[in-house]
Amino acid sequence: MAEQKHVNENTKNEALQPYRKDADEKLTTNQGVKVNDTDNSLKVGTRGPSLKEDFHFQEKLTHFDRERIPERVVHARGSGAHGYFQPYESMAEFTKAKFLQDPSIKTPVFVRFSTVGGSRGSADTVRDVRGFSVKFYTEDGNYDLVGNNIPVFFIQDAIKFPDIVHAIKPEPDHEMPQASTAHPSFWDFISLVPESMHMVMWILSDRTLPRSLRMMQGFGVHTFRWVNAEGKSRFVKYHWKPLLGVHSNVFDEAQKLAGKDPDFHRRDLWDAIDMGDYPEYELGVQIIEESDEHKFDFDILDATKLIPEELVPVRPIGKMVLNRNPNNFFAETEQVAFQPSNVVPGIDFSDDPLLQGRLFSYHDTQLHRLGSPNFVHLPINRPVCPFHNNQQDGRMQMEIKTTRVNYSPNSLGENRPAVSSEAEGAYVHYPERVEGSKVRERSPSFKDHFSQATLFWNSLSPVEKDHLVAAAHFELGKVGDQGVRERMVERFNHVDHELAKRVAQGIGVAAPTQPVTKNHGQSSEALSQMNTTKTAKGRKVAILAADGVEAAQIMTIKQALKAVGVIAEVVSKFKGTIKSAEGQAIEVDKTFLTSASPMFDAVYIPGGLKSVEALKMNGEAVHFINEAFKHCKPIAATAEGVDLLQTSNVQDVAQLDKFVQDDQGIVATPSTDANEIAKVFINAIAQHRHWKRAHKDAVPA
């Protein structure tokens, strides 16, 4: 067997590298002419008219006037990162895709995370589906796995895609609301399209409020096809699992983050990579034999359905690590062009009617948005392998071709570029046998719209169910049309009778008296975030302090947290430094004005009588603690710091003996030795939230 040349993460790829700069780096025009003044245009005298011959002025302004390109219709707001993918073992039994063969090879990737409904200027933390798209730069060409953070979709057929997007987007008469589905047109559409109900359950769940992009799951959504070297085909579903676990914001803090830091997710991803705390995701697949295609009580080609992991377990096959931030947001994150039609040998499509439409729509969108079919020449979109064809000219043509022929077949150029055989690595579509009449119909196997919505509801924990109902109250509570609200309650009654009654109670609609269908009682553990990985790694802790704080306690907690990958930042009234009780200068990382408890995963209050007394008199500090308590986050205190808990009224700690830690995530000790609580505090942080916390709704925050 001939030796194969593999692509790895260190492969020199000029397309992915920043432009080279001179050491001198003098300002020039685009033609390389050095410029002596870029602050004043060329004029006749100091107060005379500007001259048209000022080519630097003309170039600078004309380029500026054309800086913007059309934003994406959906997924407009995104964040990107470079990294690599490495398989755990060879997948040769299932696919001949080369990047899935050798565990020693790292394939470069570029990932773009995004919201769906909002514009480029909208906030990161709105309730929305998230895009999760990965471009693999393989030796056989680019492969794009274009997915979302939810495994199902609103519609079954791509012909309805313009309708669902129009309904989600701001209403055309007044262009409101921005980045929100809490408006009449969306719910009017949903109430009339029952196939959307499974997706709606996910939309209303905590899945649409990810804590960070590092803690967000991804799915390929569609059923794809893998083909091995022998030509055997199997169906496959893709799953990306973050190694930090799948965790979410609560809606209240998501809304507050949208105002306090609308770039919260983008900033978190950038900072994590910048600090070397690289986000990691495990790729898993569900593999279905062709002979098992019809064995389920749903159609695996229906994009509104998932395959429960109890029926087909997810097999981990590799890991993706994001280890480099983009050099230029526009050139990379904004100009990257993902297309589901970008596949490599060994990966093919199924007959999913939503996927089939996306194969056309994504390419058509890139042609419009980037202005030319030559968008593949842009550095972020170029493959790392050689590419040759007879396509020519057009805007943005960046290839300087030296051949005298641009057609096939030809004899003047020795018939190059020549086609390849399958044995030479050419892409050959799987020869699926298809027959039937031309019809505009939906398969009868696509008609069940509610059983998996019920499965999702049954799989949620009581807390997750409460959050879903509250989300429905918020979303539908903003819909003024009584008929739409009544239809939605009727749809929920198809999912679960108790759910429908709870939703009706909060939106001014009469509750249904009888269930439409009996709840089948089936559930899947994988659908609840309560069963995800729990780790303190990657979390952020706010240390509340003022002048007179005990520095030793801060250092002890910081060292313990750093050892397990937790970042701790000092939050105080003013930026700069505060002076500890021992006279040390302690750097302040954030202020109460520029930060808030939703930006952190936990709170620690060190001792120091003067510090605590100052914080007691600071309403922002007390609010910080109340808010963290309300959002069920861990709170720790040592020495006099315990007194601040009593001031904030979030926990009765009056009877403290030596040590306290209860099931509500409050860790406190009157001791000045922070080592006594460090381990327990870290364990509390790893739990993400402490939902059993009593009386949290009574806390004013």
CATH code for the domain of 634: 3.40.50.880
The per-residue DSSP string of 420-439 comes to: --GGGT--------------
Cα end-to-end span (Å), the chain: 67
| Last residue of one domain, picked from the residues 329, 353, 377 | 377
Out of 281-285, 423-427, 605-609, 659-663, which region has the weakest mean confidence (pLDDT)? 659-663
Q: How far apart are CA 432 and CA 350, in angstroms?
A: 9
Which pLDDT band holds residue 398 (cuts at 50, 70, 90)? confident
Asked, for residue 181, whether it belongs to a domain, the answer is no
d(CA 576, CA 588): 6
As to burial, measured by CB atoms within 10 angstroms (0-12 exposed, 13-18 middle, 19+ buried), residue 440 is exposed
Residue 383 in any domain: the answer is: no
pLDDT tops 50 at residue 530:
yes
Torsion angle defined by CA atoms of residues 427, 433, 439 and 441, in that order, rounded to the nearest 10 degrees? -90
Rounded CA-CA distance 82/113 in Å is 12
Bridge-based pairing state of the strands 141-148 and 660-661: unpaired
The pLDDT tens digits of the residues spanning 207-237 come to 999 999 999 999 999 999 999 999 999 999 9
Residue predicted with more confidence, 699 or 572? 572
26 class by beta-carbon count within 10 Å (0-12 exposed, 13-18 middle, 19+ buried): exposed
**pLDDT at site 22:** 64
Residue 452 in tokens = 């998996």
Residue 312: its H or E element: none
- The residues facing 321 across adjacent strands are 84, 280
pLDDT tens digits, one per residue of 310-332: 999 999 999 999 999 999 999 99
173 within some domain: no
The CATH number of whichever domain residue 346 belongs to comes to 2.40.180.10
Task: Name the active-site residue from 56, 75, 222, 449.
Answer: 75
Active-site residue, from 82, 142, 148, 467: 148
Q: Is residue 495 part of a domain?
A: no
Question: At 457, is the secondary structure helix, strand, or coil?
Answer: helix
Q: Is residue 323 part of a domain?
A: yes
Residue 66 inside a domain? The answer is no
| Main-chain phi, psi angles of 316, to 5 degrees | -65, 130
Predicted TM-score (pTM) of this structure? 0.94
**Residue 30 counted as domain residue:** no
Cβ-proximal residues to 561 (8 Å cutoff; 6+ apart), any chain: 536, 541, 567, 568, 678, 682
Asked if the structure places residue 411 within a domain, the reply is no
Strand ranges (E), 518-659: 540-544, 567-572, 576-579, 585-588, 590-591, 602-605, 635-638
Choose the weakest-confidence range: 9-23, 483-497, 513-527.
Answer: 9-23
Q: Is 675 a catalytic residue?
A: no
User: Which amino acid is it at 385?
Assistant: C
Q: Where are the alpha helices (DSSP H) in 634-673?
A: 641-648
For the ranges 189-193, 225-229, 553-557, 690-694, the lowest mean pLDDT is seen at 690-694
- CA separation, residue 265 to residues 48, 130, 625 (Å): 50, 11, 23
Question: Does 134 score more than 80 pLDDT?
Answer: yes
| Of 474, 118, 366, 70, the residue nearest 265 (C-alpha) | 118
Span 432-448, average pLDDT: 93
pLDDT at 12: 45
Secondary structure (3-state) at 510? coil
Count of the separate structural domains present in the chain:
2
Buried b (16+ CB within 10 A) or exposed e, 588-616: bbbebeebbbbbbbbbbbbbbebbbebbb
Q: Domain containing 114: what range? A: 78-168+208-377
pLDDT greater than 70 at residue 16: no
Domain boundary among 325, 344, 377: 377
Q: So what's the pLDDT on residue 5?
A: 43
Q: Does the active-site annotation cover 148? A: yes
With 60 as the cut, is the pLDDT of residue 637 above it?
Answer: yes
With 50 as the cut, is the pLDDT of residue 9 above it? no
Last residue of a domain, one of 377, 408, 427: 377
